[in-house]
Structure 1
């Protein structure tokens, strides 16, 4: 069970967006052991993340017992503290942690959700995470849609019109969520929340900077619509502060960024203590999907990224639902043609 190799690479996909993701791309991490097993995980940080994995984290892990998930997470975290307690280093660490969980499942011949307590939700509803074009979502079977609001913000009336048009296109029976991606301030968020109520908006996501916990706490106190966020938060300690400050009513940790499965399951446990809903960012991707399958009392998965075409074995979305697979580990493999 000793770790013999740790590798990371930036896989090549199709239709990748030409923006900041060039240097902040997702990274694929593989961990090999002396048993002949290999685990796969996905983290973040692009070229810098690859460097952290293939230097600091590789040196930390070679020769270690791959089954010591908690102990290895602590060792990796301590080793990367000089890079900072959040952000890039934890995104890279997340990929390694997920690869170790994949290994753990393969070693015993079980899916990761079995390691998390068993399959609670075999079929999970998916919400389509989209731009302003919503007309085909109902035809594709989605009963939940998240609208990415315009950036930069076009102003109050224009934002209301975007939501009005989306509701008209979707009809009355589809749940509608909004994602502002840091584009508003407290005053604008509260004005829009009041205006969105007649359109049945179920949450407002990330309207402020993730550092503005005071602002988020004010939104939670005053908004008639639940406030969601957390994709840019890291580790159970970061999420504990969010909850202690009553800054979100819905948490959205990303398994590939927040510290991997070792942290994600702790975030779920913390949220359950506070009666807070967890809806993982990009939850239809297997790294979050297995957590939803085992840990969620109210399962809902966000649709993934269409440009991630370098994984084989991901369960398909069919009529707005995804069925969790039963292959050992996370059940996916890296397309060897996607990496050099």
Structure 2
């Protein structure tokens, strides 16, 4: 048996060119067993105070309850941790803390079995997935923004997801006419075959009638989906939007629990594509539970893998083992937590995402890089 010995939460910070060199933060989790196996996980808490809170919950709340447990019995460990965090409330900091520990335990379970995590999940449901260049629109002017996206396709990507209203020089996001003009210019530049996914996101505030109008105008240029044009809790707005457009609606990356996704699917009934982040949704175990809901309700799942290579690896195993996944997102611009954090960069091949074959997550975390980006 491989019993949990130590659990360390490591807040890190790094500049990200995909987000206009904004300093982004997350918490890495390192779990070690008494037999010497190490597993890695991640909790995407983002803000400095949230990262500190997540680390505190792990060190003083979750480590004491999993210490001595069989690290390969992920179900028991997940249930034990979730019963402990019940008192904290549903979602948020507690769910992110649980996510990182659970992910690390799955890494250990795979290493102990000598199998990649997707085999522990029941095997591959896809041999490969369409590789998506997922980034923010942040260049100065429509021509420069279009040119950058063209460069992604020249580099082999077959799909792109573009966040509007983000940091940077771009004025894309918020002006409906300008935003539609950008999508029109993109379609003209990329041709008919390129997949374009639009993420309106938290930086834009539209009323529902504007969101409907933009959806239908962008729909003329065959966008693959339209993500979070309204605030995530605007249930009535999303229902009206769903009833007023043929464009697929995406949402969900701000949910933290199976219960939250179940409410969306059974009560709101307005979303076609659910963004799910294993570093926020209570880990690999939590993602699997949401994926089962997607199967039950006939929904598409999309792993929100927009952080470090640790979450990318977990998301890749989960996506390729899911019958409900269509694409896989990569950060197209080089960033330390993707290019240097692991021994071999996780990257597409000819526009496709292929399985990792090593045991556990299938990555080798470079601990000198972890120390270099540690947020002290």
Question: What's the CA shift for 1:10?
Answer: 2.2
- Give the 3 Å change call, closer, same or farther, for CA 164–90 of structure 1 in structure 2: same
Q: How many residues are aligned here?
A: 338
Partner of 2:360: 329
Alignment partner, residue 132 of structure 2: 127
Aligned to 1:79: 84
- Provide the residue aligned with 2:262 in structure 1: 240
2:278 equivalent to 1:255? yes
Alignment match, 2:194: 174
Three-state SS of the structure 2 residue aligned to 1:67 is: coil
RMSD: 2.1
1:64 is displaced (CA, Å) by: 1.6
User: How many Å separate the matches in 1 of 2:80 and 2:152?
Assistant: 44
Is the Cα contact below 8 Å between 1:181 and 1:205 reproduced in 2?
Answer: yes
SS in 2 for 1:166: helix
Cα 1:20–1:136 change in 2 (3 A) is: closer
Q: Does 1:294 align with 2:294?
A: no
Structure 1 gap segments, 5+ residues each: none
Q: CA deviation at 1:13?
A: 4.2
Q: Which residue of 2 aligns with 1:2?
A: 3
1-side partners of 2:126 and 2:74: how far apart? 24
CA 1:82 to 1:304, structure 2 compared with 1: closer, same or farther past 3 Å?
farther
Mapped to 2, the partners of 1:298 and 1:336 lie a distance apart of 31
TM-score normalised over the length of structure 2:
0.84
Match of 1:103 among 102, 108, 120: 108
Gap change, CA 1:275 and 1:116, over 3 Å in 2: same
Q: Pick one of 193, 210, 213 that aligns with 1:191.
A: 213
1:60 to 1:43, Cα distance in 2 relative to 1, 3 A: same
1:268 aligns with 2:288: no
Contact kept in structure 2, 1:13 and 1:338, CA below 8 Å:
no
Distance 2:324 2:164 in 1: 28
Q: Which moved more, 1:100-109 or 1:291-300?
A: 291-300
The question of whether the paired residues in 2 share the 8 Å contact of 1:150 and 1:159 is answered with: no
Question: Using a 3 Å threshold, how does the CA distance of structure 1 residues 18 and 174 change in structure 2: closer, same or farther?
Answer: closer
Q: Is contact 1:105-1:112 (8 Å) kept?
A: yes
Q: What is the Cα deviation at residue 298 of structure 1?
A: 4.6
Quickly say closer, same or farther: Cα 1:49–1:18, change in 2 above 3 A.
Answer: farther
Q: Which runs of 5+ in 2 are unaligned?
A: 46-50, 138-144, 167-171, 372-376
Q: Deviations over 1:116-143 (max 9, x none)?
A: 1012323221111132331212211222
Matched, 1:230 2:230: no
For residues 30-45 of structure 1, the aligned pairs below 5 Å read: 30-45=30-45
1:315, 1:324 within 8 Å by CA — same for their partners in 2? no
Please give the alpha-carbon distance, in whole angstroms, between the structure 2 residues aligned to 1:280 and 1:12: 22
Matched, 1:212 2:239: no
Q: Quick check: 106-115 or 196-205, which moved more?
A: 196-205
List per-residue Cα deviations over 1:3-59 (Å, max 9, x = no partner). Answer: 11001102354547589865xx22111111112111111112222222221111111
Q: For 1:102 and 1:296, how far apart are their aligned partners in 2?
A: 22
SS, match of residue 252 in structure 1: strand
Q: In the aligned structure 2, how far is the partner of 1:93 from the partner of 1:233?
A: 14
Whether 2:169 is the aligned partner of 1:146: answer no
Q: Per the alignment, in what secondary structure is the counterpart of residue 121 of structure 1?
A: coil
Instruction: Output one character per residue of 1:230-250: Cα deviation in whole Å (capped at 9) or x when no partner.
Output: 111112111100101203111
Report the secondary structure of 2:226's partner residue: strand
- Quote the residue 1:67 is aligned against: 72
Deviations 1:270-323 (A, max 9, x none): 111111111111278111110111113453111148432423334322332122
Measured after TM superposition, the shift of residue 84 of structure 1 is 2.8
